């Protein structure tokens, strides 16, 4: 257990009569990159939101870095969240704030840091994503790829132990997808993070994944390396990945 960042047991979640997770059990080791595949509406994003506490499961246990998430008070949960980064599908940048203000926001909100240290971290993190020259720009002035980089920078500026990615490359062209995926892998190694990434993008998955699971009919139907899943003789997997290759 000491080597586990995430330990999930018998996790279930339903919306009315529609069950999206049915007694899911899953371990993610420290330093591991796990990719979660599945068709739309199969509970991939719900899984992430349950892990970080944005949704409450109907039953089950979630342990993150030794903390039993479902037994924490609100203030305790917020303390644990300081060590978890979440990259939303939309990027979720604040349009009324500059890039600098977007990155500084989580530091001012969650940490009692002097302004000089906040500014130092902002500069350092923008250098990591090669966008220091965008520090005073507004999100509306950025391309899609640049917005993803800034959103990624904001999610890692707190130096989290665990990163959760919800479709990190959606809407990007293949070249930008490759660049963002390589950046995710580079930052994961540099900051020694563990990550769980929900994606349908094979370009991204091939670059970042150590292991992958596939959610189907509310359970983990398949598990293995990307190569094992994409070369499987299972007809469902063959149809799914052949479609995703065409999309890419």
Give me the mean pLDDT over the 153-174 stretch. 90
Give me the mean pLDDT over the 147-163 stretch. 91
Q: Tell me, yes or no, whether 150 and 125 share the same domain.
A: yes
Evaluate whether residue 142 is within a structural domain.
yes
Give me the mean pLDDT over the 192-203 stretch. 93
pLDDT of residue 231: 92
Query: pLDDT tens, 125-141?
Result: 999 989 999 999 999 99
Q: Tell me, yes or no, whether 184 and 229 share the same domain.
A: yes
Query: pLDDT tens, 70-127?
Result: 999 999 998 899 899 988 776 678 889 999 999 999 898 888 888 999 999 999 999 9
pLDDT of residue 2 exceeding 70, the answer is no
Dihedral in degrees, nearest 10, Cα atoms 183, 186, 189, 190: -100
Q: Tell me, yes or no, whether 152 and 203 share the same domain.
A: no
pLDDT of residue 244: 55
Q: Tell me, yes or no, whether 131 and 195 share the same domain.
A: no
Domain boundary residue, one of 103, 135, 159: 159
Domain boundary residue, one of 114, 131, 159: 159
pLDDT of residue 65 exceeding 90, the answer is yes
59-64 vs 67-68, strand pairing mode = antiparallel
pLDDT of residue 243 exceeding 70, the answer is no
* Rg (the chain; Cα; Å): 18
pLDDT of residue 247 exceeding 70, the answer is no
Domain boundary residue, one of 133, 159, 185: 159
Structural domain total, the chain: 2
Give me the mean pLDDT over the 221-247 stretch. 85
Evaluate whether residue 235 is within a structural domain.
yes
Tell me the average pLDDT of the chain: 91
DSSP string, 106-153: HHHHH----HHHHHHHHHHHHHHTT-GGGTT--GGGS-HHHHHHHHHH
Q: Which of 89, 11, 85 is nearest to 52 (CA)?
A: 85
- Residue 200 pLDDT class (50, 70, 90 cuts): confident
Domain that residue 50 falls in? 4-83+161-247
pLDDT of residue 246: 41
Give me the mean pLDDT over the 197-226 stretch. 95
- What percent of the chain stands above pLDDT 90? 68
pLDDT of residue 60 exceeding 90, the answer is yes
59-64 vs 4-15, strand pairing mode = antiparallel
The pTM of this model reads 0.90
What number of other Cβ atoms are within 10 A of residue 31's Cβ?
Answer: 15
- Residue 206 pLDDT class (50, 70, 90 cuts): very high
Residue 180 belongs to a domain with what CATH number? 3.40.50.300
pLDDT of residue 59 exceeding 60, the answer is yes
Query: pLDDT tens, 8-27?
Result: 999 999 999 999 999 999 99
């Amino acid at each position: 257990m000491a080597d586990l960042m995430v330990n999930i047991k018998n996790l279930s979640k339903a919306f009315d009569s529609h069950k999206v997770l049915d007694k899911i059990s899953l371990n993610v080791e420290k330093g591991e990159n796990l990719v979660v595949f599945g068709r739309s509406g199969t509970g991939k994003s719900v899984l992430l939101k349950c892990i970080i506490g944005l949704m409450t499961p109907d039953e089950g246990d979630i342990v993150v870095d030794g903390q039993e998430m479902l037994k924490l008070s609100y203030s305790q949960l917020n303390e644990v969240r300081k060590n978890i980064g979440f990259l939303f599908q939309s990027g979720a940048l604040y349009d009324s704030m500059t890039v600098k203000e977007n990155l500084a926001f989580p530091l001012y909100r969650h940490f009692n840091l002097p302004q000089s240290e906040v500014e130092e971290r902002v500069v350092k993190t923008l250098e990591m994503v090669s966008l220091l020259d965008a520090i005073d720009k507004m999100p509306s002035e950025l391309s899609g790829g640049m917005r993803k980089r800034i959103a990624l920078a904001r999610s890692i500026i707190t130096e989290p132990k665990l990163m959760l990615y919800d479709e990190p490359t959606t809407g990007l062209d293949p070249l930008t997808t490759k660049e963002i995926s390589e950046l995710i892998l580079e930052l994961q190694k540099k900051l020694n993070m563990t990550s769980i990434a929900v994606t349908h993008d094979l370009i991204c998955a091939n670059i970042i994944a150590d292991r992958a699971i596939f959610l189907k009919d509310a359970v983990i139907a398949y598990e293995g390396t990307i190569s094992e899943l994409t070369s499987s003789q299972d007809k469902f997997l063959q149809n799914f990945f052949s479609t995703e290759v065409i999309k890419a």
